[in-house]
Amino acid sequence: MEWKTDWGLRGRMALTMFLLFALYLVFIGVIAAYFGSMLFALIMLGGFSLVQYFFSDRLTLWSMGAKEVNEEEYPELHDAVTRLSRQADLPKPTVAVTDSRVPNAFATGRNQSNAVVCVTTGIMRTLDREELEGVLAHELAHVKNRDVMVMTIASFLSTLAFIVVRWGWMFGGGDSRNQAPVWVAILVSLLVWIISFLLIRALSRYREYTADRGAAMITGKPSALASALMKISGQMDKVPKEDLREQAEMNAFFIIPINRGFIGRIASTHPPTEKRIERLRDLERELETA
């Protein structure tokens, strides 16, 4: 299949980013007005953004207990990533593995030249070669579409708003004269976080469909990814609940989310697996008739 620009994805991203930008302008304005200093707001935002932009990949790998692996340790995994990266016209990303029974994979990194593709030991035991390549191609499609960077930028101020909501009492200190402005800032931050949460989840679900299509374009085998999704989904029920809870906060990165616990119930970062498989089967039929 020929790699084509997904204008639906670009349109959805542009609209979501525009709405988030407008929302965050209001947020920054309120923070600056009630704390009496635009400099304070800029320093706070700038510090968080720099840390998240430059170190998000390392922080993600650290939170998962993942480690970078070389070709001697995992030759077949490296061979697959090298070949698929060439087919996707991408620089080869860093390859990482995390020792976990949860069968999953994710991509992270601020751009195509600093990307990391990570798989769990559980997914390597669960899938055959073609299925694993379908999953790796899905993650490479995220890298090619710059989804990690876009979602990091989109989620940054939402995260900051949540921090203000949670720790806003610290800004007021002991001065009672500051209490009203603090509470206004907290309420505005709560509203910003809720709206951002919904917008970002919608964008996240759509990008998964696009990454699935990208994987089919890279491998030419939509059925391989469809089979992988079915296997991963089925194996999730066999993983101990403790393991799933430990990794639930990584839902936005995983190829299939963990739908247990509070985060899994409150909102989904991914479309239903059944719908993703249905679309991949449509792509398979499209290939057969081409």
Report pLDDT digits (tens) over 71-82: 999 999 999 999
Residues in CB range of 285: below 8 A, 6 or more apart: none
- Positive or negative CA dihedral for 274, 276, 281, 282? positive
Higher per-residue pLDDT: 7 or 90: 90
Report pLDDT digits (tens) over 129-157: 999 999 999 999 999 988 877 776 777 66
Domain ranges for the chain: 7-289
C-alpha to C-alpha distance for 5 and 10, rounded to whole angstroms: 8
Mean of the per-residue pLDDT values for the chain?
A: 77
Q: Is the pLDDT of residue 262 over 50?
A: no
Single pTM value for the model? 0.75
- Please report, as a single letter, which amino acid is at residue 138: H
Q: Degrees (nearest 5) of the Cα angle 50, 56, 57?
A: 140
Would you name the residues annotated as active-site residues?
139
